Structure 1
Amino acid sequence: MRNIPIYSSEQHKFILLNESEPGEEDGIRSNQYLIVHEDNGVLLDPGGFGVMPRVLSELLNYVSPDKLKAIMLSHQDPDIVGGIATWLEITDAPVYVSSIWLRFLPHYGVSSMQRFVGVPDEGMNCQLAAGFDLKLVPAHFLHSEGQINVYDPIAKVLFTGDIGAAMVPEGEDHPYVDDFAAHLPYIEGFHRRYMCSNRAARFWVEAVSQLDIDFIAPQHGPVYRGAAVPAFLKWFKNLECGVDLMVGAGRFQQGG
């Protein structure tokens, strides 16, 4: 799959970098996104160690590593953070991650935590350059206790980490979700099991509904656009998931 410019203007771009192939991370296909504003860049969820060379190669089509103003980590999973030590060697960019995960990141081979910025539970605004601001939005327990989303107000893209993630069968890949009903079978099982609870989902939907969103960009699977954006938010707001489905230790309602 080629790189996909989700939003592109003369000054600003939001790009889905060439998606990883099955087998690169034990079959987990993950998305890495690059935001470019003039000659500045921000890398979202750079990925595991195995995909780092490919991500770097694609990034170089748009911006050099020394122009990265930030690396954003939505949470602590290895398919997001596994290659971070190598990125730290080739860029001086600060790395933003929920403050609750700072003590765990040295286990990924990080020798110094000086360039890591702990994002508070309520999120924060980041001014990365003149006219280049991003909003870090809390999405706790969806699925990580310290999940952070990134909202780009110029592109009107909300990067949601594992929220909205899809496990699409090989051969059925497509870059965008336009028909939410047809896409639902690829997301329902994952969200019912991996998302913590309907309470967390409702709080998140209520918060992000205040934003002007044209695209929802998850860390796995295609990007939601058009009518699929409000359709997903409506579905997720009413989803029973995680602890809602527990009926005993190690036992879940059917479909959980």
Structure 2
Amino acid sequence: MRNISIFSSDNHQFILLNESEPGEEDGIPSNQYLIVHEDSGVLLDPGGFGVMPRVLSELLNYLSPDKLKAIMLSHQDPDIVGGIATWLEISEAPVYVSSIWMRFLPHYGISSMQRFIGVPDEGMQCSLAPGFNLELVPAHFLHSEGQINVYDPIAKVLFTGDIGAAMMPDGEDHPYVDDLKAHLPHIEGFHRRYMGSNRAARFWVEAVSQLDIDFIAPQHGPIYRGAAVQGFLDWFKKLECGVDLMVGAGRFQTRV
């Protein structure tokens, strides 16, 4: 699938670069997103080492790596962070990640953490260039203990990391979710097993419901738009998941 411009105006774009990890046919392909404001850019979850050359090739259609003002990592998983050492070599961008993962990331072959900015538990505002501001929103235990989301108030896009992620069948590569009910079989099992608890889900939904959201852009699978945005929030707020379903060590109330 080709790159998709989720939002585009005269000076601002939010783009799904749509490059997935080679050899992931039995896993979940990953989405990489680029936000461009005038001649500045932000890369969201750049991906593993294997996709780095292709993501760079797609990024060059919009701007050069030296124009990146930030790289933002939703959490610590290798399909997000695996290629970060190479991105550090070709750009000067600071890297934002939850502060609890700062001591973990050197295991990805990073020799210096000087360009990393630890995001506090309560999130933070990022001013990247004149008129270019993003909000880092906490999403702890969904599924990572230190997950962060990125909200773009111009595009009205909330990048949610693994929240909203889908396990799509082979051959189904449509870019958007319009019918949430039809999409639920692709997300329910993943969310019940990987999200920490309904308590965490409810706190997150209450927080992001204060934002003006037109699109929910997850790290895996299609993007929610229109009625599917509120539909997903309503569904997720009520979902029993993670520790809610445990009845013993290695035993769950229902199959997840």
Please give the range of the TM-score, normalised by the shorter of the 2 chains.
over 0.9
Residue 42 of structure 1 is matched in structure 2 by 42
Asked if 2 retains the 8 angstrom alpha-carbon contact of 1:18 and 1:58, the reply is no
Counting only pairs closer than 5 Å after superposition, residues 1-256 of structure 1 correspond to structure 2 as 1-20=1-20, 23=23, 27-256=27-256
- Partners of 2:110 and 2:60 in 1: CA distance: 24
SS at match of 2:43: strand
User: In the TM superposition, what is the alpha-carbon distance from 1:253 to its structure 2 partner?
Assistant: 1.4
Asked if 2 retains the 8 angstrom alpha-carbon contact of 1:24 and 1:51, the reply is no
- Partners of 2:98 and 2:69 in 1: CA distance: 18
RMSD: 1.0
User: In the TM superposition, what whole-angstrom CA distance separates every residue of 1:100-126 from its partner, at most 9, and x where no partner exists?
Assistant: 000000000000000000000000000
Aligned residues: 256
SS at match of 1:126: strand
TM-score (norm 2): 0.98
User: In the TM superposition, what is the alpha-carbon distance from 1:27 to its structure 2 partner?
Assistant: 3.5
Asked if 2 retains the 8 angstrom alpha-carbon contact of 1:21 and 1:27, the reply is no
Change (3 A) 1:33 1:17: same
Task: Tell me whether 59-68 or 10-19 shows the greater mean CA deviation.
Answer: 10-19
Change (3 A) 1:21 1:116: closer
User: In the TM superposition, what is the alpha-carbon distance from 1:170 to its structure 2 partner?
Assistant: 1.2
User: In the TM superposition, what whole-angstrom CA distance separates every residue of 1:64-102 from its partner, at most 9, and x where no partner exists?
Assistant: 000000000000000000000000000000000000000
- Partners of 1:100 and 1:155 in 2: CA distance: 29
User: Structure 2: which amino acid aligns with 1:203?
Assistant: F
Asked if 2 retains the 8 angstrom alpha-carbon contact of 1:22 and 1:28, the reply is no
Asked if 1 retains the 8 angstrom alpha-carbon contact of 2:19 and 2:51, the reply is no
Asked if 2 retains the 8 angstrom alpha-carbon contact of 1:25 and 1:48, the reply is no
SS at match of 1:187: helix
SS at match of 1:216: strand
SS at match of 1:235: helix
User: Structure 1: which amino acid aligns with 2:69?
Assistant: K
Identical positions, percent: 88
- Partners of 1:188 and 1:116 in 2: CA distance: 34
Task: Tell me whether 38-47 or 12-21 shows the greater mean CA deviation.
Answer: 12-21
User: In the TM superposition, what is the alpha-carbon distance from 1:23 to its structure 2 partner?
Assistant: 1.2
SS at match of 1:79: helix
Q: Which runs of 5+ in 1 are unaligned?
A: none
